[in-house]
Homo-oligomer: A and B are copies of this chain.
């Protein structure tokens, strides 16, 4: 059975890919390339795919002009600014992010006759995000049943959320049990060769490894 796995290169999506492989699926991983993001995470995604020998589709989805069109007239651009412009970076939260990613995955799935889409969404760490809730994934599946060729034919692509209710420690334990290459993953919000160990994402990751009683083998600064 074929499956599309949404793969960012982080811990959660890598463990999700490992689960898809363990479920016996022939996996095609799908990653997205944004104009504004450092490429470190994507290199991890490539390394994970290389380790598993699975196909890797990368979709360019540059929202730069999309964003600038949003902000051009909405937000006053501060004047007389010198030096550090890093505060200009737009918030990392993208409305409808999982909806957009799952939609692209649905297009890919239908193109290659995949029966499943795996997504490493998590309702524990991201309980405030509407598009990480079980009700959303159910509604998305129903929408695919109505709006895709395979859906109308009575065999809609199934959305798989294996770590939806897992804590970070659960995810680490599952990854270890499946022998997933956790040492290839990247969680840090910052780029560079070594993780910072201080951002929210690094801290949640390190706490998860600690609670699972495992050593995190990636390098920290």
By a beta-carbon cutoff of 8 Å, the part of chain A in contact with chain B is 28, 30, 35, 55-66, 69-70, 72-74, 94-100, 102-104, 106-108, 110-112, 130-131, 133, 135-136, 138-140, 142-149, 151-152
Contact = CB atoms under 8 A, between A and B. Distances in A.
B146 A139 contact: yes
Given A57-B69, A99-B107, A100-B107, A130 B151 contact: yes
A56 B152 CA distance: 34
B107 A148 contact: no
Copies in the complex: 2
A58 B146 CA distance: 28
A70 B73 CA distance: 40
Contacts of A107: 94-97, 99-100
A8 to B, nearest CB: 16
